[in-house]
């Protein structure tokens, strides 16, 4: 862009360079009268100020493909609306479409409206049939509602399938139990006394660290014991008391007889071998196991009577988990009878079978429980808002008068699965009686006070008897929290796969399974022959 003054100083021309030469954009004529230098100076100053804007306008015209226009009038037609603040119609179209969407939001879908199955089909139908905007909005709404229903139904079906998978016994683990049971009947080494006679006094020696494990899962029990022994600084001070049911006793005994976790000591006991544990002493549990209504609730159709339209997948998953058959198993309720089952022991650590020990646990016996019975991790505070946000209201039905009159919905819950129990202090309380009385009340109320297994009555029975311990001792949620913090898992002393996604099941979380499988002896003949393979 150039500025030219005529020799007579009577005109000023602004021109621009193009492919075809120079184009005069503006020519200013000056009057014939004498022009003062001051006037000329101001004129030049104004023009110098305007030149950048003219340059920008010219560039915009060129970029928009209007450089073929040779007149200034073309530039005005193209840039005039912009200079006047006028915009294109896209904003108005959006507002109009939003208005149409609001109209169809609450209206009835036309009965004859045929919904496309995909976005491509929608585009094709719009092109072929030339639908108006309102019909298009109805089609969008119909497609969205259809896909939402299908996704919701698929999610509930997934949860049901996951529930059945979690409640079943994997073929490999069932095979392991059968083969070890057969080994017990045919191999004298599999029937040898556990522990050997010379070590029997250690079973009641309170200078040792006593762990109690109640399970019918042989593979899971082996992982708990192996991880505890391998993580211990003094494994020779460990005594494991493994309690199982009658059908699993022979197989469990065979495993630990053929695979002793030396130098630790292991005792295998079947429920049938405890003289104290008779139906006369636990009538409530007999009622739980035998009452038809209870059995139908835990073993029947888990979707019958459920209105899926009135719930969400997360609530439905919680209800399914609460109906796991394990919650009416005597093995699951056994921990409430520990003082009677082990009358000579003072302090024990109780472990669930879905835990892994990653750090030496001997300091647990040094914790001063300050006269309390149960050392446990509280689950109402922590970084994980899903796993560590449990209060009494998460477990109890506070619309029930007995619950609302006796319990505080904001009271902090605590975790079962890794607990330090002072059995001496326990024997001075009425915890077991309280547990039984509340179980009876829940049975009378047809399970309307709580649904979830053994923890709710324990929360009531142990009220005032719980001493909180540091959360680093026990990390929960690996069986239902897919987003578990990896670094926190590595640092935890005990990690707990509570939830449906157990590490020995196909539905276990792949990235969390290695913390468990590292303690499985995949070279063992029984494990290999049952095709229990490391994933």
521 in a structural domain: yes
**Predicted pLDDT at 446:** 81
Q: At a CB cut-off of 8 Å and minimum separation 6, what does 258 contact?
A: 183, 187, 189, 190
403 in a structural domain: yes
78 in a structural domain: no
**Predicted pLDDT at 399:** 95
Structural domains counted in the chain: 1
Tokens encoding 356: 């892994």
82 in a structural domain: no
Residues comprising the chain, all counted: 535
Strands 238-244 and 209-214: parallel
Count CB atoms within 10 A of the CB of residue 345: 21
295 in a structural domain: yes
Question: What CATH number does residue 479 fall under?
Answer: 3.90.550.10
Residue bearing the bigger pLDDT, 87 or 356: 356
Q: Which of 496, 421, 500 is nearest to 168 (CA)?
A: 500
Q: Could you tell me how far CA 149 lies from the centroid of its own chain?
A: 23
535 in a structural domain: no
Q: What is the pTM of this model?
A: 0.73
Residues 264-296 have pLDDT tens digits of 999 999 988 988 776 666 655 565 555 555 555
66: pLDDT confidence band, cut at 50, 70 and 90?
very low
Q: Which of 238, 268, 233 is nearest to 253 (CA)?
A: 268
User: Could you list the residue range(s) of the whole structural domain that residue 190 is in?
Assistant: 171-530
505 in a structural domain: yes
Q: Could you tell me how far CA 247 lies from the centroid of its own chain?
A: 34
Q: At a CB cut-off of 8 Å and minimum separation 6, what does 364 contact?
A: 349, 375, 420, 469, 473
Q: Which of 413, 421, 334 is nearest to 374 (CA)?
A: 421
327 in a structural domain: yes
Residues 158-190 have pLDDT tens digits of 777 776 777 778 899 999 999 999 999 999 999
């Amino acid at each position: 862009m150039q500025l030219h003054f005529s020799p007579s100083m009577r005109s000023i021309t602004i021109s621009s360079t193009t492919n075809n030469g120079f184009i005069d954009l503006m020519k200013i004529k000056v009057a014939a009268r004498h022009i003062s230098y001051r006037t000329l100076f101001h004129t030049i100053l104004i023009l110098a100020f305007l030149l950048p804007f003219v340059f920008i306008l010219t560039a915009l015209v060129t970029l928009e493909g209007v450089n073929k226009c040779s007149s200034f009038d073309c530039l005005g037609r193209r840039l005039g609306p912009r200079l006047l603040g006028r915009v294109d119609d896209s904003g108005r179209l959006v507002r109009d479409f939003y208005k149409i969407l609001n109209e169809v939001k609450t209206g009835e879908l036309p009965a004859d409206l045929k919904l496309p199955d995909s976005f491509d089909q929608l585009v094709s139908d719009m092109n072929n049939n030339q639908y108006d905007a309102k019909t298009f909005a109805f089609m969008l709404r119909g497609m969205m509602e259809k896909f939402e229903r299908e996704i919701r139904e698929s999610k509930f079906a997934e949860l049901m399938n996951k529930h059945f998978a979690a409640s079943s016994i994997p073929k490999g683990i069932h095979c392991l139990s059968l083969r070890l049971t057969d080994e017990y009947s045919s191999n004298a080494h599999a029937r040898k006394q556990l522990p050997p006679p010379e070590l029997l006094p250690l079973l009641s020696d309170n200078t040792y660290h006593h762990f109690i494990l109640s399970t019918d899962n042989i593979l899971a029990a082996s992982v708990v014991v192996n991880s505890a022994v391998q993580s211990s600084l003094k494994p020779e001070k460990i005594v494991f008391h493994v309690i199982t049911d009658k059908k699993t006793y022979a197989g469990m005994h065979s495993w630990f007889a053929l695979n002793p976790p030396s130098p630790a000591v292991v005792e295998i006991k079947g429920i049938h071998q405890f003289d104290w544990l008779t139906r006369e002493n636990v009538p409530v549990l007999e009622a739980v196991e035998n009452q038809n209504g209870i059995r139908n609730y835990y073993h029947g159709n888990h979707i019958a009577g459920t209105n899926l339209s009135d719930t969400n997948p997360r609530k439905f998953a919680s209800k399914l988990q609460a109906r796991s058959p394990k919650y009416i198993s005597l093995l699951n309720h056994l921990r409430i009878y520990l003082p009677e089952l082990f009358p000579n022991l003072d302090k024990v650590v109780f472990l669930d079978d879905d835990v892994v020990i990653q750090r030496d646990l001997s300091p647990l016996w040094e914790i001063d429980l300050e006269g309390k019975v149960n050392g446990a991790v509280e689950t109402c505070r922590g970084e994980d808002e899903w796993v560590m946000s449990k209060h009494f209201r998460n477990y109890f039905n506070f619309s029930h008068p007995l619950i609302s009159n006796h319990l505080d919905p904001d009271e902090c819950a605590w975790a079962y699965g890794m607990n330090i129990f002072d059995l001496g202090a326990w024997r001075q309380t009425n915890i077991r009686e309280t547990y039984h009385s509340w179980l009876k009340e829940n049975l009378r109320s047809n399970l309307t006070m709580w649904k979830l297994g053994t923890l709710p009555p324990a929360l009531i029975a142990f009220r005032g008897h719980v001493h909180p311990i540091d959360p680093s001792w026990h990390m929960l949620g690996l069986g239902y929290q897919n987003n578990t913090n990896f670094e926190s898992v590595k640092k935890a002393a005990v990690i707990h796969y509570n939830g449906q996604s157990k590490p020995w099941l196909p539905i276990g979380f792949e990235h969390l399974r290695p913390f468990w499988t590292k303690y499985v002896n995949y070279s063992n003949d029984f494990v290999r022959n049952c095709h229990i393979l490391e994933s």
